[in-house]
């Protein structure tokens, strides 16, 4: 399977059958669509997903991303045949598609929502750590069997997961290789909300529409601050203060304040 990604005449991302990309109402949805292989992710799918994220960086038509699966499966992780045939060497020179995708995800300036319905394994869990909102259906399961496969945690998960969930809790996934249901995932904070399979998409779409209507510069700034590594608290207060002051002088704030005064909803649609 080719690792290259086709683009349309405007350079926007186009789907491949196994990774469907759709942009609608400010939301670009990336859908794993390889249900016969439990949505195991191939190099071609990573490449397409990386392009779908990167090509939206300067595209005002895309304000939010959704990453989701299909047929009651999120993803069974990296395609194990691919692993054996073309083992990726992340950080080792030529960037493999999986690294292109995970760097595009980790570096996405616009918010990313994950919608997990069904099983999430390996990188299907790792990628959740890089999303901004994670919602799941109540039939979902989560597992990172890296040690069971004699592999190792990947893409920052050995740092992010203990920081987000606590060391002892993260060890259940990363060392024990435990399988969590949605309740445990919610209780630990791996996911932010659990819904029925029938309502998940609607809840996620509402969240995406909610984010898409916000001031994009403010949203990007807030996300960037949250993604910054820990620093001296007073350094952080100063950094936030700089951004806060800049936002106070921005047309976005003028619109927000004007809308408040005029008792109307703000309209940020003209801002990139
Ligand atoms: N890579 C490649 N193919 C995969 C895959 C993966 N990660 N996960 C599932 N598949 C394929 C199976 O080989 C099978 O293909 P086939 O029908 O051509 O034989 C198909 O998907 C269905 O999988 P199957 O194992 O029959 O379904 P199941 O419901 O019994 O089990 C899983 C589903 C996901 C629990 C099981 O397939 C599994 O453990 N997969 C490996 C998960 C994994 O270790 N991921 C990598 C982490 S680094």
Q: Where in the chain is the domain with CATH 3.90.226.10?
A: 19-212
Question: How many Å lie between the centroid of ligand 1 and the Cα of residue 143?
Answer: 13
Q: Which pLDDT score, from 0 to 100, does residue 60 have?
A: 93
Share of the chain above pLDDT 90, in %: 90
DSSP-derived secondary structure for 160-224? HHHHHH-HHHHHIIIII-PPEEHHHHHHHTSSSEEE-HHHHHHHHHHHHHHHHTS-HHHHHHHHH
Fold of 19-212: 2-enoyl-CoA Hydratase; Chain A, domain 1 (3.90.226)
Q: Measuring from atom 41 of ligand 1, which residue has the nearest CA? A: 76
The pTM of this model reads 0.95
Instruction: Using the Cα atoms of residue 154, residue 72, residue 111 and residue 135 in order, give the sign of their dihedral.
Output: negative
Backbone angles phi, psi at 40, to 5 degrees: -60, 140
Ligand 1 closest atom vs CA 80: 1
Ligand 1 closest atom vs CA 81: 2
Q: Which residues line ligand 1 (CB under 6 A)?
A: 37-38, 40, 76-81, 119, 121-122, 145-146, 149
- Over the stretch 88-141, which tens digit does the pLDDT of each residue have? 888 887 899 999 999 999 999 999 999 999 999 999 999 999 999 999 999 999
Q: Which two tokens stand for residue 98?
A: 């999986």
């Amino acid at each position: 399977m080719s690792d290259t990604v086709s683009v349309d005449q405007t350079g926007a991302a186009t789907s491949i059958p196994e990774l469907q990309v759709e942009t609608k109402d400010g939301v670009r949805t990336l859908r794993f669509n390889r249900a016969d292989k439990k949505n195991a992710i191939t190099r071609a799918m990573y490449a397409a997903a990386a392009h779908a994220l990167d090509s939206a960086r300067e595209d005002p038509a895309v304000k939010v991303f959704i990453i989701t699966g299909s047929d009651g499966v999120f993803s069974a992780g990296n395609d194990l045949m691919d692993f054996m045939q073309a083992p990726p060497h992340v950080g080792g020179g030529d960037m493999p598609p999986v690294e292109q995708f995970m760097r595009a995800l980790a570096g996405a300036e616009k918010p990313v929502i994950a919608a997990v319905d069904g099983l999430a394994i390996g990188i299907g869990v790792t990628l959740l750590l890089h999303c901004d909102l994670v919602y799941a259906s109540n039939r979902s399961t989560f597992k990172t069997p890296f040690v069971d496969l004699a592999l190792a945690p990947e893409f920052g998960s050995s740092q992010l997961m203990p920081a987000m969930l606590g060391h002892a809790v993260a060890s259940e996934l990363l060392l024990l290789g435990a399988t969590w249901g949605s309740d445990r995932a919610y209780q630990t904070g791996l996911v932010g909300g659990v819904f029925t399979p029938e309502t998940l998409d609607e809840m996620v779409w509402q969240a995406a529409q909610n984010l898409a209507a916000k001031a994009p510069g403010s949203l990007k700034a807030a996300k960037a601050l949250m993604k910054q590594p820990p620093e001296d608290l007073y350094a952080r207060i100063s950094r936030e203060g700089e951004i806060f002051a800049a936002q106070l002088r921005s047309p976005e704030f003028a619109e927000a304040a004007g809308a408040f005064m005029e008792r109307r909803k703000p309209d940020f649609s003209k801002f990139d």
